[in-house]
Structure 1
Amino acid sequence: MLKTRIVTAVIMLAILLPVLFLLPPIYLSGLFLLILVTAAWEWSRLIAPNASYAAYFYALICAMVVLFLWLFAIPTVEIALLSIALAFWIIGMPMILSQGIHLSLLRWRFIFSVLGFIILPTAWLSLDVLREIGLWWLLSALILVWLADIGAYFVGKSFGRRKLASQISPGKSVEGALGGLALCLVYAIGCAHYLPAGDTLFGSFQSKWGWGWMLLMTAVLAAYSIMGDLFESQLKRIAKVKDSSHLLPGHGGFLDRVDALLPVMPIAALFSIMVRS
């Protein structure tokens, strides 16, 4: 399984890196669009597993929302969407997570349907906003999410004893979460200390508000990376499936790969707006 995961990850990087570094930004926006629309298709299949054709319609509507944001770029609409998504991630998601697996998918299906049309386009919008600030600014935020996952996986495998959320995701441990957090903090300190302050969110935050606030911001982003993963795991649990799809061998589906990005990117966009205001 690990070998399959590594091969798939290498192939994904072979696609992502040239788009990041060799092509104009519009291609990256298009790649993000394809990924999140595919994630929307998977999202619909989770909340309505017996409505296979509806999943394509759901993905189409999500694509239309993203295209509207992309083509018209209306600031009031973008701010409103970002605000609604942030309100959910900060207030709504912890409330839903607190319910564990004691949620009725039938009762929550409409809410999850509407929610997908908010959080998926907002993730695309946030990624696009971060890319407009700078390529390394965007990469610094993406790398933090990847490191949180890597740190949690390897520390959890080696030292995990106490379950983080046994009902939702039995494989995740408190030790793993702390390992992911520690790796993110080391990474953020390295960015702020060794890279030009204006190149990354962490350096800019430290330069403007000091080390304490920067480390707190990093901890918040790392925590929401873990919670985003748990949130999708919760949805899969109540949908009684292991993966969102089988499109990515060894990784499940695209939603399984972007679940941690969904809350982190809007919050990173908010911090970016704060530090640049």
Structure 2
Amino acid sequence: MLKTRVITALVLLAVLLPILFLLPPIYIGGFFLVALLAAAWEWSRLLAPEAGRAAWLYALFCLVIILFLLGMQNASWQFALLLLAVLFWFFIAPFILAKGMNLSLQKLQPFYVVLGLILLPATWFALVFLRELGLIFLLSTMALVWVADIGAYFVGKAFGKRKLAVQISPGKSIEGAIGGLILCYVYAFACVYYLSFESTLFGAWAIRFGWIPMFLMVTVLTAFSIFGDLFESQLKRLAGVKDSSHLLPGHGGVLDRVDALIPTMPIAALLAGFI
């Protein structure tokens, strides 16, 4: 299993690194688009595993939404989509997560169908917008999610005792979440200290609003990265599967890899808009 995970990761890096550093920004947009359409296919498969053709149509519909909003050439429409996604994460997702496994996926299927058509395109637009602000701006923002995950994993392994969401994800602990948050504080501070202020979201917020608002922003982004992970775990448990798919050997599905980015990137894009 470990060998398979490593090989898959190396193949992905061999594709991604040249796109990031050698090709024009439009190519990374294309890479993100393929990834989000694969995630849309998996999202539909979770909702209706037996409807294979519907999953392809669902991914196609996500593509149509993205192309339509691009064709409109009106930033306010894209902003509205981002805002809609952010409002969901702030005001609806917490109540869904609080229900644990006391939900019926069959009854909520129409809701999840519409939800995916909002969250996934919004994530793509957020990633593209952050890339337009700079490659380092994008990568440093995305890295916060990975830092939170790494910190939560190792601190949780060493000190985790109290479960964060036992029904949804028994492996996650409150201690792990706190450890991930603290590591994110250290990471954000390092970004501000070692990189130019305008090159990262953290530096831009620190110079514009001050250190305390910047750390509050980091707290929000870290919290919602955990929300995204838990939300997808809840959806998979409701669907009765371990992984969203087997598209990435050793890693599960694309949705399994981007779940924490789905809430954090639209929020980060809106926060970047303030500066």
Please give the range of the TM-score, normalised by the shorter of the 2 chains. over 0.9
Gaps of 5+ in 2: none
Instruction: Note if 1:59 corresponds to 2:91.
Output: no
Q: In the aligned structure 2, how far is the partner of 1:72 from the partner of 1:182?
A: 42
* Map of 1:214 onto structure 2: 214
Aligned-pair CA distance for 1:163: 0.9
* Map of 1:271 onto structure 2: 271
Task: Give the residue type in structure 2 aligned to 1:87.
Answer: L
Task: Give the residue type in structure 2 aligned to 1:60.
Answer: L
CA contact (8 A) 1:82 1:122 kept: yes
Q: In the aligned structure 2, how far is the partner of 1:6 from the partner of 1:147?
A: 19
* Map of 2:180 onto structure 1: 180
Q: Which runs of structure 2 are paired with 1:81-92 in the superposition (5 Å)? A: 81-92=81-92
Aligned-pair CA distance for 1:71: 3.8
Q: In the aligned structure 2, how far is the partner of 1:122 from the partner of 1:110?
A: 19
Q: In the aligned structure 2, how far is the partner of 1:261 from the partner of 1:108?
A: 23
* Map of 1:5 onto structure 2: 5
* Map of 1:129 onto structure 2: 129
* Map of 1:168 onto structure 2: 168
CA contact (8 A) 1:69 1:125 kept: no
Q: Comparing 146-155 with 30-39, which one deviates more in the overlay?
A: 146-155
Aligned-pair CA distance for 1:64: 1.2
Instruction: Note if 1:109 corresponds to 2:109.
Output: yes
* Map of 1:155 onto structure 2: 155
Assess, with a 3 A threshold, how the Cα gap between structure 1 residues 124 and 89 changes in structure 2: closer, same or farther.
same
Q: In the aligned structure 2, how far is the partner of 1:27 from the partner of 1:71?
A: 18
SS in 2 for 1:248: coil
* Map of 1:251 onto structure 2: 251
Q: In the aligned structure 1, how far is the partner of 2:246 from the partner of 2:118?
A: 24
Assess, with a 3 A threshold, how the Cα gap between structure 1 residues 20 and 253 changes in structure 2: closer, same or farther.
same
Task: Give the residue type in structure 1 aligned to 2:57.
Answer: F
CA displacement, residues 75-115 of structure 1 (integer Å, 9 cap, x when unaligned): 22112111111110111111110110111011100000000
Task: Give the residue type in structure 2 aligned to 1:241.
Answer: V
After TM superposition, the score normalised by the length of structure 2 is 0.97
* Map of 1:93 onto structure 2: 93
Q: In the aligned structure 2, how far is the partner of 1:250 from the partner of 1:182?
A: 29
> What's the C-alpha RMSD, in Å, of the aligned pairs?
1.1
Q: Comparing 261-270 with 172-181, which one deviates more in the overlay?
A: 172-181
After TM superposition, the score normalised by the length of structure 1 is 0.96
* Map of 2:70 onto structure 1: 70
Aligned-pair CA distance for 1:191: 0.4
Task: Give the residue type in structure 2 aligned to 1:231.
Answer: F
CA displacement, residues 27-61 of structure 1 (integer Å, 9 cap, x when unaligned): 00000000000000000000111211110110110
* Map of 2:50 onto structure 1: 50
Gaps of 5+ in 1: none
SS in 1 for 2:23: coil
* Map of 1:190 onto structure 2: 190
Aligned-pair CA distance for 1:3: 4.2
CA contact (8 A) 1:33 1:66 kept: no
Q: In the aligned structure 2, how far is the partner of 1:6 from the partner of 1:264?
A: 26
Identity of aligned residues (%): 60
Q: In the aligned structure 2, how far is the partner of 1:220 from the partner of 1:9?
A: 29
